[in-house]
Amino acid sequence: MRVLVLGAGGQLGRDLVPQLRAAGHEVLALARGELDIAEEGALAGLLRRSRFDRVVNCAAYTNVDRAETEPELAARCNARGAALVAAACAEFEVPLCHLSTDFVFGGDPPEDGRGWVESDPPSPLGVYATTKRQGELACLQTGGPLYLVRTSWLYGNTGPNFPLAILRRAVAGLPLRVVADQVGSPTWTLDLSRALTRLLELPPCGLVHLSGGGRTTWHRFAEEILRQAGMEAAVSPVSTAEWGAQAPRPRFSVLYSQRWEELGLTPLRPWEEALGEYLRSEPGVASVLNRPG
């Protein structure tokens, strides 16, 4: 297949592009500065000139707190940009894979304690979550062939991300205060990239949840990062209210994929196992810890 990856310079794009190429696909990888998805006609012009079998939109405005004071910028990328990408792909009948987020679920967790499934109604909180949901709706409303993939708590080799931030603070001897009342599923971008590569080889299947296996809190995630990295540092638990972030966060954003099961695909491995390989193998981690990569 010939695949166009938008937002290829971000955490996910940096892992996805090599995974697609390793699977034998031809990839055109475009970072934000090479194609502005919110520019009218930008993607449509490219699709008019070149043929692609899949388009993957990893481009997004992801600074959750800053979005509260920059709503226009967040909406420009997450809502308008997503709508233009979806419209262009539908016009040229190119299947689109659009990446979205667990943040669209801001309500109380399901009563049975399971994770959010694809059929659960979203309830976004804050500017970031709202604009991402607007982007989802724009993709769905075009009626074009679509993979709409929600994921959660992403981390990879490049920052900013949670594991690297924890390690940097621990190395510097800085205090670690971490929220203990938000529950979700950490997801390594390499694991997600492998799953996306497999998904893109199947016919478009609509909405799919894809996150690391299991669930945890940010506080326990931090403790596990330090434990597996062989570092000793105290991690103080705090509440969401005590942390006082500018933007609201979901208290429960565990994603469960009924669709992935229906497709007969292997779920992503437990988050603890993925974290271990990440800490052992990623150059970014080695750089923080000043050990050979």
Please state, in angstroms and rounded to a whole number, the distance separating the CA atoms of residues 170 and 283.
18
Catalytic residues, which ones?
128
Tell me which residue range forms the domain holding 128.
2-158+187-213+254-268
Report the number of distinct structural domains present in the chain: 1
Q: Is residue 180 part of a domain?
A: no
Which tens digits make up the pLDDT trace of 252-266?
999 999 999 999 999
Instruction: Say if residues 62 and 202 touch (Cβ distance below 8 Å).
Output: no
The whole-model pTM stands at: 0.95
Tokens 């193998």 sit at which residue? 281
Q: Is residue 225 part of a domain?
A: no
Burial of 100 from C-beta contacts in 10 A (0-12 / 13-18 / 19+): buried
Going by C-alpha positions, the residue among 114, 107, 161 that lies closest to residue 129 is 107
Q: Is residue 204 part of a domain?
A: yes
In this prediction, residue 287 has a pLDDT band, given cuts at 50, 70 and 90, of: confident
CATH number at residue 145: 3.40.50.720
DSSP for residue 286: H
Instruction: Say if residues 96 and 147 touch (Cβ distance below 8 Å).
Output: yes
- Position 157 scores a pLDDT of 83
Using CA atoms, how far residue 136 sits from 62, 143, 156, 162, in Å, is: 15, 12, 24, 25
Which tens digits make up the pLDDT trace of 129-142?
999 999 999 999 99
